Amino acid sequence: MKYLSEYRNLEATKFYLSKLEEIVTQPWQIMEICGGQTHSLVKNGILELLPKQVQMIHGPGCPVCVTPLNQIDKAIALLKKGVIVCSFGDMIRVPGTHKSLLQAKADGGDLRVLYSPLEAVKIAKENPTKEVVFFAIGFETTAPANALSVLHAEKERLNNFSILVSHVLVPPAMEAILDDEFCSINAFLAAGHVCAIMGYYEYPPIAKKHNIPIIITGFEPLDLVQGIYMAVLQLENNKAEVENQYSRVVKKEGNKTAIDIINKVFKVAPREWRGIGLIPDSGYAIQEEYLKYDADSKFNLHGFKLEEIPNTCIAGDILKGIKKPFDCKDFGKSCKPATPIGAPMVSSEGACAAYYHFTNTSI
């Protein structure tokens, strides 16, 4: 695999860090959108290497963290009905209203952890007498493969496969964050892999409207340090443009094949974000033509809602960058990866879990 070591080069990283020190003159708050970037910042110890004036704010780009409680409850209800529920690994420990998917599995539910949604189609084919539902969560990155699973099921003429859709989109979330009255973010590192799929034609209007630099950034240490440098350079020069740091992967127009597959199966729709609330046009729903593959329609789950049990999780403020994990009184005490109260403590991309696992601060 190429690029495993090139972008972890000590000298090149030091070079950008020293250039960053040279140009920074005042405090700046930069939000990295993607949980993968948060993970890399913390895992590689980058936060402590940055100049004191540069503060990183961790964004909402952890797909597991923003998936609403209600969707998890629905998946658990399907398990109870005897449906084979297939899910990405990260999702299974996230607490729903009463329990997590993993706990529902222990109760006897047939939960399968998969890496690719296409595996779920295979399971449906192998189990013709059972209903199989894939829990289709994530951002634009997982949307093409999830959409493809529907197309494969159609091709195989399967009637026992459907997907429980909980897809969200990055640009509307960025707008929602910028519109928040407590928002103090000066620049964005946009999520490199989301842009690899979608391109970045959606970003210039956001940069212009909110007068904010947006740097499409990768995930390796050198990517991040260079992305931060590019953001600070713009800020110090009073610019607000879209720049592509991750040009080895991202093209402005994105991946046309992937976008076509997404548009064939999905349409843009309002979506609930866990901890943030309803954001208009911020996700995907299944197109009319493919509704027979929509688990919500198939199992009449549209009105499904369990009574919410209030808890003390401040995930919403963390996902919007208003608070840090250490600001939470439960962090590292009653809320730990083994006993998470909120979703950001579960996935390795969640800000709380990343802080818990990797930071040097006493816990």
Residues that bind another protein (CB under 8 A): 1, 4-5, 8-10, 13-14, 36, 42-49, 63-64, 86, 88-93, 112-116, 119, 137-139, 141-142, 193, 221-222, 225, 336-338, 347-349, 356-360
Give residues with Cβ within 8 angstroms of 131, minimum separation 6.
78, 81, 82, 83, 84, 160, 162
Q: Which is nearer to another protein, 45 or 82 (CB)?
A: 45
Residue 85 to residue 311: CA distance in whole angstroms: 27
Q: Which is nearer to another protein, 9 or 211 (CB)?
A: 9
Residue 111 to residue 91: CA distance in whole angstroms: 11
Report the nearest approach of another protein to the CB of residue 125 (Å). 13
Residue 205 to residue 216: CA distance in whole angstroms: 15
Report the nearest approach of another protein to the CB of residue 327 (Å). 19
Q: Which is nearer to another protein, 225 or 230 (CB)?
A: 225
How many other CB atoms sit within 10 Å of the CB of residue 113? 15
Q: Which is nearer to another protein, 37 or 234 (CB)?
A: 37
Give residues with Cβ within 8 angstroms of 282, minimum separation 6.
168, 169, 172, 173, 176, 270, 271, 273
Report the nearest approach of another protein to the CB of residue 347 (Å). 7
Residue 125 to residue 135: CA distance in whole angstroms: 17
Report the nearest approach of another protein to the CB of residue 62 (Å). 9
Report the nearest approach of another protein to the CB of residue 9 (Å). 8
Tokens of 296: 């919500």
Q: Which is nearer to another protein, 244 or 347 (CB)?
A: 347
DSSP label at 283?
E
Instruction: Report CA dihedral (103, 344, 220, 177) to the nearest 10 degrees.
Output: 140
Q: Which is nearer to another protein, 47 or 259 (CB)?
A: 47
Residue 123 to residue 133: CA distance in whole angstroms: 10
Report the nearest approach of another protein to the CB of residue 312 (Å). 21
